[in-house]
Amino acid sequence: MKKRAYVLSSALASLFSMATVAFAQAGAAAPAQTPAKPATPTPAPKPLQLQSLDSSTKADPFPPVNPKFFTASTPTVDTVNAFLKALWGYDPNRIWRVAAIQNTQAPGVNKVVVFVSDKGPNAKVSSTSFFVTPDGKHAIADAANVISFGATPFADTRKLLQERADGAYRGASSKDLMLVEFADLQCPHCKEAQGTMDKLAQDFPNARIVFQNFPIVDIHPLAFKAAAYGYCITKQKNDAFFPYANAVFDSQEALTPQAGDQTLKDAVKKAGLDPVTVDACGATEETKKAVEASIKLAQDAAVDQTPMLAVNGHLLPLNGVPYETLKSVISFQAVQDGVSSGAGPAASPARTPPTLGNK
């Protein structure tokens, strides 16, 4: 949960993360002919990129590509395709075509238009668009949401988390496949997500699953202290953190100004540790700085709500996403990064309308 709301923002809920909401447009529209300064145009793309037609698709469903809609030299079609594959490649039924890469009136800011459909019978074609910043490193779906762009858009966040995610972990000791859960111990939706995390721990034995504290102190006054206790418990005994966290989640309704302190101490007892020792540790300046560093890590990773799961740097919301789709994304990301997930054969992802977004 984030102080703005529990729900996902509409733009980010679709493009840059999971594609879980429908396109605003019912059909594919021709890209707008944006007035622009002259530029070396990008060569017109081939009929389909990355996800080619096969026997399950009887005909090319997309409108023909028109070279006049390619007025910008960057990003290239190949880069856009690699970016979209990083986002959508988990779904073998999804197909798309880059329809336009255009200059805009803002110097260096270029617009990308994409036609999207799937291989199912009578599938509709939709169109969506986003903007790429002059440095070629960020994509903008709307005025409020910016994410990394490029052929490997999650690589920097993956490296960041490998270096700085220091929360309690279960599963593999290796950091090759990291599932980092950003959560707030006083957040009701984080409590709901724990069943999903338990399933992921079973289904992906090669994953290192990290609980990274991200207390939202503006709306959860006891979240910081709960995180401080969690840090001290982890430092003393990593495996004791998870019984502690489960006990806190189970007693969330008692995290009140009157009963909150005792509730946290009771949770420490259930984890098998001494609440007096943990309370003294939680009050130290070292612990305070450690929790603040965890909050800073979440902010640096562009996490702006809880619960959020980072799959080797790919941010995914934990609520509202079908579990089989989540598994498909994790399996796909592991393949992309050349690591073993330890999972069995992946099931087909739950079908959701293709869209653009993030969070």
For the cut 50, the answer to whether the pLDDT of residue 36 exceeds it is no
**What is the reported pLDDT for 34?**
46
pLDDT, the chain, mean: 83
Q: Count Cα atoms within 13 angstroms, Cβ side, for 191.
A: 14
Which CATH fold topology does 156-308 show?
Glutaredoxin (3.40.30)
| Residues above pLDDT 70, as percent of the chain | 78
Identify the residue with better confidence: 61 or 335.
Answer: 335
pLDDT, mean of residues 97-110: 93
What is the SS3 assignment for the chain? CCCCCCCCCCCCCCECCCCCCCCCCCCCCCCCCCCCCCCCCCCCCCCCCCCCCCCCCCCCCCCCCCHHHECCCCCCHHHHHHHHHHHHCCCCCEEEEEEEEEECCCCCCEEEEEEEEECCCCCCCEEEEEEECCCCCEEEEECCEEEECCCCCCHHHHHHHHHHCCCEEEECCCCCCEEEEEECCCCHHHHHHHHHHHHHHHHCCCCEEEEEECCCCCCCCCHHHHHHHHHHHHHHCHHHHHHHHHHHHHCHHHCCCCCHHHHHHHHHHHCCCCHHHHHHHHCCHHHHHHHHHHHHHHHHCCCCCCCEEEECCEEEECCCCCHHHHHHHHHHHHHHCCCCCCCCCCCCCCCCCCCCECC
Q: Which amino acid is at 136?
A: G
Quickly state the pLDDT bin for 320 (edges 50, 70, 90).
confident
Lowest mean pLDDT among 5-19, 98-112, 159-173: 5-19
For the cut 90, the answer to whether the pLDDT of residue 12 exceeds it is no
Quickly state the pLDDT bin for 7 (edges 50, 70, 90).
very low
The per-residue pLDDT for range 189-216, each reduced to its tens digit, is 999 999 999 999 999 999 999 999 999 9
pLDDT, mean of residues 103-115: 93
For the cut 60, the answer to whether the pLDDT of residue 353 exceeds it is no
Identify the residue with better confidence: 120 or 28.
Answer: 120
**What is the reported pLDDT for 350?**
52
Quickly state the pLDDT bin for 147 (edges 50, 70, 90).
confident
Q: How many CB atoms lie within 10 A of CB 322?
A: 14
For the cut 70, the answer to whether the pLDDT of residue 14 exceeds it is no
For the cut 50, the answer to whether the pLDDT of residue 173 exceeds it is yes
Quickly state the pLDDT bin for 279 (edges 50, 70, 90).
very high
Query: What are all long-range contacts of 347-350, with beta carbons under 8 Å and residues at least 24 apart?
Result: 348/92, 348/93, 348/324, 349/90, 349/91, 349/322, 349/324, 349/325, 350/322, 350/324, 350/325
Quickly state the pLDDT bin for 61 (edges 50, 70, 90).
confident
Identify the residue with better confidence: 33 or 27.
Answer: 33
For the cut 50, the answer to whether the pLDDT of residue 90 exceeds it is yes
For the cut 60, the answer to whether the pLDDT of residue 348 exceeds it is no
For the cut 60, the answer to whether the pLDDT of residue 181 exceeds it is yes
For the cut 60, the answer to whether the pLDDT of residue 268 exceeds it is yes
Quickly state the pLDDT bin for 56 (edges 50, 70, 90).
low
| Residues above pLDDT 90, as percent of the chain | 67
Domain boundaries, the chain: 1-150, 156-308
Lowest mean pLDDT among 21-25, 44-48, 118-122, 308-312: 21-25
**What is the reported pLDDT for 29?**
53
Identify the residue with better confidence: 32 or 340.
Answer: 340
Lowest mean pLDDT among 180-194, 228-242, 307-321: 307-321
**What is the reported pLDDT for 304?**
86
